[in-house]
């Protein structure tokens, strides 16, 4: 490898895996990036969440392998675990001053159960590298939950929204992996669209075409 190529590779790795530039969320649906002059639209909903309309053109990124415009992300997920049936809302704002790809996100999340809405600590949303194998994590009741995917298609790419979750204890030890081929801890996640709508929370999971592990 030539010195020029080596320098380019090092620069690319810095852009892709450099330190986070996102501010932490405030845990109330607004993720800390708003200014008083910013026009933010919130959507009424049956759970009482602070659901905001995501900006589809929040960030223009560039990197070594791909480039493009990336929007803020909003997710609503339903799940059940150990007697708890709940709905989670996460608002993730795209941010990265260097404009590198993939983008990073400042995330805040809320949980609704039994008519009450509570903010969630430790909420993070990951774009999941160039393949967009995204994930959502948060702390609740002494546990750490990670929503992810149980099936991947060609070139290890997800083919549908997050459909399962994994449970970790307070030390970061995996307690239960519900994202195996058996999908023992199913979840239903839908994306909030730029017009402020979202699909019904109905489980439509199917194994991805060309899934060589679970197919």
Predicted local confidence at residue 103, as pLDDT: 76
Predicted local confidence at residue 53, as pLDDT: 92
State yes or no: cis peptide before 47, omega within 30 of 0: no
pLDDT, tens digit, for every residue of 134-185? 999 999 999 999 999 999 998 888 999 999 999 999 999 999 999 999 999 9
At 66, is the pLDDT very low, low, confident or very high (cuts 50, 70, 90)? low
Q: Is the pLDDT of residue 64 over 90?
A: no
pLDDT, tens digit, for every residue of 68-95? 777 889 999 999 999 999 999 999 988 7
Please count the other Cβ atoms lying within 10 Å of the Cβ belonging to residue 92.
29
Q: Is the pLDDT of residue 97 over 60?
A: no
Which residues on neighbouring strands pair with residue 92, listed in sequence order? 73, 107
Q: Is the pLDDT of residue 101 over 70?
A: no
CA distance 215 to 211: 5
> Both ends of the chain: CA-CA distance in Å?
39
The mean predicted confidence, pLDDT, of the chain is: 81
Q: Is the pLDDT of residue 6 over 50?
A: no
Reading the block at residue 2, the tokens are 């030539």
pLDDT, tens digit, for every residue of 14-49? 333 333 456 544 333 443 344 333 567 899 999 999
Which residues on neighbouring strands pair with residue 43, listed in sequence order? 51
CA distance 184 to 164: 8
Count the alpha carbons within 13 Å of 200 in the hemisphere toward its beta carbon: 3
């Amino acid at each position: 490898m030539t010195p020029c190529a080596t320098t380019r590779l090092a620069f690319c790795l810095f852009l892709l895996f450099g330190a986070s530039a996102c501010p932490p969320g405030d845990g109330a649906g607004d993720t800390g990036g708003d200014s008083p002059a910013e026009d933010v639209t919130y959507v009424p909903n049956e759970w009482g969440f602070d659901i905001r309309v995501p900006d589809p053109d929040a960030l223009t990124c560039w990197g070594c392998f791909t480039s493009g415009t990336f929007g803020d992300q909003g997710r609503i997920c339903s799940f059940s675990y150990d007697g708890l049936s709940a709905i989670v809302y996460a608002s993730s704002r795209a941010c990265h001053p260097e404009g590198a790809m993939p983008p990073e996100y400042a995330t805040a999340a809320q949980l609704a159960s039994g008519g009450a809405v509570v903010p969630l600590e430790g909420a993070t949303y990951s774009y999941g590298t160039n393949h967009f194998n995204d994930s959502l994590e948060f702390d609740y009741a002494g546990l750490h939950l990670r929503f992810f995917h149980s099936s991947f298609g060609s070139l290890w790419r997800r083919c549908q929204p997050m459909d399962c979750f994994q449970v970790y204890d307070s030390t970061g030890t995996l307690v239960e992996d519900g994202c195996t081929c058996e999908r023992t801890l199913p979840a239903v996640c839908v994306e909030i669209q730029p017009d402020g709508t979202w699909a019904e929370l109905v489980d439509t999971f199917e194994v991805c075409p060309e899934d060589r592990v679970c197919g």
